[in-house]
């Protein structure tokens, strides 16, 4: 097969998806606005050709460049795993007659308001929601829904520019921070625990899925620098208190007509057991949560995604064996990492369960915690028992400290 992948070198795990495609035997063509010399070595090794464009956001120019470079070649699949380029991928599919999400099908994955309208019609429980493009419309929507509300960009990704607003005074304070956002969704605040439903789909049928638990929910973690956010990929995805969320995940995929590839859905479970849809992207989760899945089941998730989109199947017998916790750390202070406390003690106590450590080394400038969940690195650990996993994750959260100055 000839497969075109958009932005094969960015974000961080795109090289692994590119590798997965190449290992299925596909000829892989990349297109992106990163200079060829800046491409990771793995990407250069796996690509048959790379089409360098000035900007991925000039969609007509990208289509023209691909058509010119690939004269004489047909394309069997066009893949994109990066949220901002989902519509571009759909336009390319339409231009080259390639199966997969069309522009009409892809739009609900990028437009949170359209997304919820489709699911409302399918009878899926979503938060009450109103689209707004002016301050007056935001006020009107908030008053109609009732405080507290959540305000988020209609075309956003993750929890960036997302706010919980408890009353009129907080709304007055938040509105100036959203002046750069063209349109927002004003939603009912759903008080509950937050989970993911991450799926690899083949021909509209879910072939593999993962459930992860956010501790605490992302909106809380994004609002408090002192928190070490955790994402727990669960071993027991068939436990009774998750079954309604799993059922919703299958229904959402069906309602949105997703074909083949990766999706990342978020949902809530309220104290009374009701499940409520959050949002979904036609892409994998970020912040190395795909790597978590790899360690849950001991399988090459990147290769299995590639199998799904090229040969139409995933390997049989993929079974969760471990709970996997990712604990993201944020240094105290500003500037460069100056010290790390608690690492040696934790290594002695739980080191055998750690599968990945990406903490920034001393001397490295710390990252902006508001712009990346990965923050100043993370510890990934696993254990077959959930309570043991949570206890270890909490130790990392409370006893491991990074300092910057």
- CA 204 to CA 258: how far, in whole Å? 6
Whether residue 380 contacts residue 324, with contact meaning beta carbons closer than 8 Å, is answered with yes
Do the domain assignments include residue 157? yes
84 confidence band (pLDDT: 50, 70, 90): very high
Q: CATH code at 35?
A: 3.40.50.20
Q: What is the pLDDT of residues 347-385, one digit of tens each?
A: 999 999 999 999 999 999 999 998 899 999 999 999 999
163 burial level (CB within 10 Å; 0-12, 13-18, 19+): buried
Does residue 359 sit in the same domain as residue 289?
no
Is 197 found in the same domain as 314? yes
**Within a domain: residue 139?**
yes
Q: Compute φ and ψ for 262, nearest 5 degrees.
A: -105, 140
Classify residue 121: in a domain, yes or no.
no
Assess contact for 301 and 294: CB atoms under 8 A.
yes
Please report whether residue 92 resides in a domain. yes
Measure the CA–CA gap between 94 and 99, rounded to whole angstroms: 8
Rounded to whole angstroms, the Cα distance separating 391 from 280 reads: 30
pLDDT-derived band at 156, boundaries 50, 70, 90: low
Residues 39 and 138 grouped into a single domain: no
Averaged pLDDT of the chain = 96
245 pLDDT exceeds 90? yes
- Looking up residue 265, the CATH number of its domain turns out to be 3.30.470.20
Indicate the angle between helix axes 86-96 and 103-110, nearest 10 degrees: 180
CA distance linking residue 184 with residue 308, whole number of Å: 34
- Give me the number of domains the chain comprises: 4
Instruction: Tell me, yes or no, whether 294 and 225 share the same domain.
Output: yes
Instruction: Note the maximum CA span of the chain.
Output: 61
User: What pLDDT is recorded for position 158?
Assistant: 58
Residue 109 maps to a domain = no
SS3 assignment, position 57? coil
- Would you place residue 73 in the very low, low, confident or very high pLDDT band (cuts 50, 70, 90)? confident
Which residue range(s) make up the domain with 150? 128-188
Q: Specify whether the CB–CB gap between 361 and 377 falls below 8 A.
A: no
pLDDT in tens, 25-63: 999 999 999 999 999 999 999 999 999 999 999 999 999
How confident is the model over 311-328, as a mean pLDDT?
Answer: 97
Task: Clarify whether residues 172 and 206 are in a common domain.
Answer: no
């Amino acid at each position: 097969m000839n497969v075109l992948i958009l932005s094969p070198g960015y974000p961080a795990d795109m090289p692994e998806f590119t590798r997965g495609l190449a290992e299925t035997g596909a000829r892989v063509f990349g297109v992106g606005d990163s200079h060829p010399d800046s491409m990771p070595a793995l990407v250069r090794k796996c690509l048959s050709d790379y089409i360098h464009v000035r900007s991925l956001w000039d969609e007509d120019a990208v289509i023209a460049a691909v058509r010119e470079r690939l004269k004489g070649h047909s394309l069997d699949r066009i893949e994109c795993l990066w949220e901002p380029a989902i519509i571009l991928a759909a336009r390319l599919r339409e231009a080259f007659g390639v199966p997969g999400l069309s522009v009409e099908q892809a739009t609900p994955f990028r437009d949170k308001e359209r997304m919820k309208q489709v699911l409302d019609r399918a009878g899926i429980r979503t938060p009450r929601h109103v689209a707004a493009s002016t301050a007056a419309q935001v006020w009107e929507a908030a008053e109609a829904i009732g405080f507290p509300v959540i305000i988020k960009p209609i075309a956003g990704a993750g929890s960036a520019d997302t706010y919980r607003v408890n009353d009129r005074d907080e709304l007055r304070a938040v509105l100036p921070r959203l002046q750069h956002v063209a349109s927002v969704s004003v939603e009912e605040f759903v008080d509950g625990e937050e989970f993911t439903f991450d799926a690899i789909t083949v021909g509209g049928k879910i072939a593999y899925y993962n459930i992860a638990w956010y501790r605490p929910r992302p909106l809380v973690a994004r609002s408090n620098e002192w928190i070490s956010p955790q994402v727990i990929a669960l071993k027991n995805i068939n436990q009774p208190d998750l079954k309604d969320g799993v059922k919703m995940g299958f229904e959402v995929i069906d309602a949105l007509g997703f074909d083949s590839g990766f999706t990342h859905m978020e949902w809530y479970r309220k104290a009374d057991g009701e499940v409520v849809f959050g949002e979904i992207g036609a892409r994998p989760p970020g912040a190395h949560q795909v790597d978590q899945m790899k360690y849950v089941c001991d399988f090459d998730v990147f290769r299995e995604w590639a199998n799904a989109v090229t040969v139409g199947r995933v390997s049989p017998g993929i079974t969760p064996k471990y709970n996997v916790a990712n604990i993201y750390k944020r240094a105290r202070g500003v500037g460069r990492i100056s010290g790390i406390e608690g690492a040696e003690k934790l290594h002695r106590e739980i080191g055998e369960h750690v599968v990945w450590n990406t903490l920034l080394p001393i001397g490295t400038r710390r990252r902006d915690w508001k712009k990346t969940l990965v923050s100043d690195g993370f510890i990934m650990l696993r254990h077959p028992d959930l309570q043991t996993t949570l206890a270890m994750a909490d130790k990392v959260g409370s006893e491991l400290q990074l300092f910057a100055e």
